[in-house]
Structure 1
């Protein structure tokens, strides 16, 4: 199963995203969409699961949940915008992680792309696909799930086609 991951678009749909996400079974947006048209445009590529971020103030986002649980093949995932520190997650994720820990947590907010394993859980932040902030790269990710194995590949967005960003992260979960 191939899943497109993005977060923190802040009203910008990078023109390279539809091609990057072509062939994905699902797109997961970890919040701070800002403009409802972004989700509509992404839905033309693949079904979209999204959570509300702290900048999603448009009334169109009132129906977006703060968290979403997803089955991604054989893996269970939790999507939340502002996770906080992985070892000390903030509400609303904290009780969900304690009660029924998923194999994957997809989050955003910090604009810092990366993936790290903490115990039995792989935490993935696709970074920010929106306007550049500070000196952070603009990124999105592709998650590939095969059985209980996950691979996350990050891509830097910018002029032209997305370029691989760092080495893919592999995890048996």
Structure 2
């Protein structure tokens, strides 16, 4: 069994509320818009990190973290990207990979809107953890925790925290 934390759109923020929510996970999966390679390194020092780059990530971060990652965790095939969409509204690049890889869990960020939707067409769970950072239009910061065991996902939890400022441009530690 593995406990997984799923985050996206940190935009440079990995602060105490987020660390507290993720303290008991075995791995953190980041669905892009990390903010910097330095932030990715801080997250990876906290917990093992799997990540993809997002549209705001710089060239160095994009060289380290790909646009798509596909892997297996405890018998669950996972596909993760930043701009992926959601059931019936997938990005065309994501559709091609979904059809080829047939993941059981599809993770995308970008929208800053938390969504968890079962897709009966592809028989997979589509997850967008929302935005864990301070930057963007969202009013509430969000992240997800879940357990994966024996090919099954269960015990999903949502963490949410108010933003310090609705229009914050601050980058926090």
TM-score by length of 2: 0.84
Counterpart residue number, 1:156: 160
Q: Any idea what SS the aligned residue of 1:138 has?
A: strand
Q: Which residue of 2 aligns with 1:126?
A: 129
Deviates more, 1:84-93 or 1:23-32: 84-93
State the partner residue of 2:8.
7
Which residue number in structure 1 is paired with residue 149 of structure 2? Answer: 146
Q: Greater share of helix residues, 1 or 2?
A: 2
SS at match of 2:33: coil
For 1:60 and 1:99, the matched residues in 2 are separated by 26
Corresponding residue number in structure 2 for 1:22: 23
Structure 2 partner of 1:114 = 115
> Higher relative CO (CA 8 A, sep ≥ 6), structure 1 or 2?
2
Q: Which residue is 2:171 aligned to? A: none
1:30/1:107 contact within 8 Å kept: yes
Q: Which runs of 5+ in 2 are unaligned?
A: 164-173
Aligned equivalents of 2:89, 2:4: Cα separation in 1: 27
Structure 2 CA distance for aligned equivalents of residues 20 and 68 of structure 1: 24
Residue matched to 2:35 = 34
**119-128 or 18-27, larger mean C-alpha shift:** 18-27
Distance 2:111 2:63 in 1: 22
SS at match of 1:93: helix
- Of 118-127 and 33-42, the range deviating more from structure 2: 33-42
1:75 & 1:135 partners in 2: Cα distance?
30
Q: CA–CA distance in 2 between the matches of 1:88 and 1:25?
A: 31
2:95 aligned residue: 94
SS in 1 for 2:130: coil
Task: Give unmatched runs, 5+ long, in structure 1.
Answer: 160-173
CA contact (8 A) 1:35 1:58 kept: no
Aligned-residue offset at 1:103: 0.2
Contact in 2 for aligned 1:31/1:80 (Cα 8 Å): yes
Pairwise CA distance, 1:75: 0.5
Tell me whether 89-98 or 26-35 shows the greater mean CA deviation: 89-98
Q: Who is 1:66 aligned against? A: 67
